[in-house]
Structure 1
Amino acid sequence: MTWSVERQGGVAGLASVAIGLLAEVFERGIARGGTDAATLRHFQEQAGAVRMQTLLFVLGAAFFFWFLAGLRSRVAAAEGAGGSLAVLALVAGAASNTVSLIALSVQEALTLETPTTSLAALDDVLFLIAGLPLAVMLAAVAIVAFTRHAFAPWIGWLSIGAAVLQIVPVFGTVAGGGPLAPGGWISAFLPYPLYLVWLTAVSVLMTAKPISEGARTREAVPASMGS
């Protein structure tokens, strides 16, 4: 069977989730608020785990790009002519993924070069900002779920909830400290659990019940009738 881009994207999304969960095995905590020497010591002591986690997250990001192609295909099939929200979801998701890759590059640099607390803070801020375009992608999916039935309504509500949790940490950019600030527990942990549920659910639906294939079949029937 030739799989559509949507089905391929669904499988890629599930692969991205699996690789991301595997990467968490190598999480060794976050060294924040210390001196340059303490930051350096932390990343030197945990260099092996940090590098393996970075590699896995980068591989997961590659699969996520493929997931975005499948998501665009499904949203475009439901949206019809124009497909503005399909483009928005694709661009916003790609932007978030790209910023995350930049942050992963900083994380890798912390194990290879002499790190400073400023570089560690930049890593935190990049991951925080990556949530904003991701929230835009989730909002676009919610709209087509409610208005064009690209997904069931519960996916729309799940998308809204996940989008809100991505946006909340962005306000940490004005916080000088505390749990909302970059590197605090809110920005470090709040955005991800519900988003992983969303990504898993959407990937399963794209794989098991692709609507883009049906849309192509409907387009092909009039063409064959007219030949």
Structure 2
Amino acid sequence: MYYHFLSGLMVTISVFSVSVCLGTAVGLVVAAGTSANSAYLRSTAQAYVATIRGVPELLIILLAFFGGTAAISAIAGRYIEVNAFGSGVGALTIVFAGYAAEIFRGALMSIPKGQGEAALSLGLSRWQRWAFILLPQMVPLALPAYTNLCISLIKDTALVSIVGLSDVMRVAFIGAGTMRAPLPFYLAAAAIYLACTTVALVGFRLLNNRYQLPERSK
């Protein structure tokens, strides 16, 4: 039992780690798109965010897994099932990016526009303006909401068990059915998720203290 839960925990951590890294990167791109000069890019980014926020996470995971399987099978001419880990991570990345983009956009809007204009007047390129002016100020502004989003992602990783990925929730489900003792297995899963979210909260609290804006310090 302990071995299976440890193995499931490693899968859960892997799904979370990959999804949060890819989702953050995609979220930054989408957030930049919402403030782009091109109306087409702005509309595309806004449509992406609106779609993700309006569709349940579980449905996106099912679409990624079964839709991906159907698409690849149609192209290959034979049945090929997509990798459960890849489809799960892909779906959670898409979801995380949609919500992260809104957080980043809100943080960017809190930065005075004059700072970006001053950077352009100094001859900084668009990438230099992002790297040296906008991102350093955006991080502390976005971190509180970003922390909550990451905590939600830890819990949302349980949804990938629906496509057969052997994470903590899947191990608990199989153990509960096999041993006919659902309460101990589900309580063990709850304890594991609680421990993961607690560790994440402590880590993000340290980050928040580290990157807190000077004017917010008391």
TM-score normalised by L of structure 1: 0.32
TM-score normalised by L of structure 2: 0.33
Q: Which has the higher helix share?
A: 2
